[in-house]
Amino acid sequence: MEPFIFRVRDCYYIRASYPSPAEHRHFAAHLVFAMERPFTALVDGKSVETVGIAIGSDVPHTILSVDPALVVFIDELTPMSRCVKHTLLQGAPWRALDASVSSRVGKRWGEVRTETDAATAAAETERLLGLQAEHAPAEDPRVLEAAAYMKSAPALEQLTIRNVARAVHLSPSRLTHLFRRDTGISPSLYLANLKLERAFYLLDTGRSLTQVCMDAGFATPSHMADTSRKLYGMSMTEVEQIFLTGLGQNSR
């Protein structure tokens, strides 16, 4: 089963094997599903064998699976993330998911080959997990405004947190405080993730990693690599290999 990366709305769906990743913390809540056999999740100091798990943002963990697994990364400040927190996590840092539902999700994504397949599978995943309810934003409106400003910036390489704070009429320190309080991460880390998302997209254009680094707004290739390991548990070289399989070239 070949690896892939697809982006559907505010989520990245990554199918890959994770034989020995280092412990790391993600910038946002995410979901993991077995696609063949159960995997081992080392999360928040505990070892869990499961076929599906939801993990909150900034929770130390790693996934051990020589077989393919599907990892769903969810933008922290989106309706989907709120659904995961309210419906699946329910205040817990992590939660094992229903085995029957998780197996159906894994099997469905095993059939995905194209962007259209991915969009259909994503909608079915949300339905199976009950992630279609509306939840009112709990975040400060200025945090949501700051996130939207960063997402809409045409040149991330020129964007600073000072610029963002000025745009939402806050000091950088106040914005950082509110962002950490409401999301558990700093605006700088959120911005770094947006740059990494752009880097993922640019890999699909055939650029070298060095050129991708520059065009995505990172200062150095090593900074981009460190950010990828910190946020996704994979080096940019590993991510590039996923794209080079051919299936990943369909991702957006």
Residue 182: its pLDDT value, please? 87
- Cα separation of the two ends of the chain: 20
Q: How far, in Å, CA of 200 to CA of 45, rounded? A: 30
**Average pLDDT of the chain?**
87
Residue pLDDT, tens place only, 139-188: 899 999 999 999 988 888 889 999 999 999 999 999 999 999 888 788 99
Name the percent of the chain lying above pLDDT 90. 44
pLDDT greater than 80 at residue 46: yes
Short-list 55, 59, 16, 23, CA closest to 233: 23
Question: Of the spans 36-40, 76-80, 217-221, 232-236, which averages the highest pLDDT?
Answer: 36-40
Antiparallel, parallel or unpaired: β 4-8 and 11-18: antiparallel
Average confidence (pLDDT) over 40-46: 92
pLDDT greater than 50 at residue 251: no
Short-list 170, 116, 119, 117, CA closest to 141: 170
| AA letter at 69 | A
Q: Which residues of 156-175 are buried (b: 16+ CB within 10 A; e: fewer)?
A: beebebeebbebbebebeeb
Read out DSSP for 57-76? TT--EEEEEEEEEEEEEE-T
Residue 137: its pLDDT value, please? 83
Q: Give the range among 49-63, 76-90, 199-213, 234-248 with minimum mean pLDDT.
A: 234-248
pLDDT greater at residue 112 or residue 20: 112
Strand-pairing partners, residue 31, are 54, 72
Predicted structure pTM score: 0.82
pLDDT greater than 70 at residue 49: yes
Note the residue count of the chain: 252
User: SS3 for 141-168, per residue?
Assistant: HHHHHHHHHHHHCCCHHHCCHHHHHHHC
pLDDT greater than 50 at residue 138: yes
* CB 29 within 8 Å of CB 92: no
Domains in the chain, please, with CATH? 4-129 (2.60.120.10), 141-250 (1.10.10.60)
Residue 22: its pLDDT value, please? 72
* Angle ∠(208,18,27) on CA atoms, nearest 5: 70
State the sign of the Cα–Cα–Cα–Cα dihedral 158, 161, 163, 167.
positive
Residue pLDDT, tens place only, 203-245: 777 788 889 998 888 988 888 888 888 777 777 887 777 666 5
Q: How far, in Å, CA of 168 to CA of 51, rounded? A: 42
For residue 245, give the H/E element and its range: none
> Residue 35, CB half-sphere, CA atoms under 13 Å: how many?
25
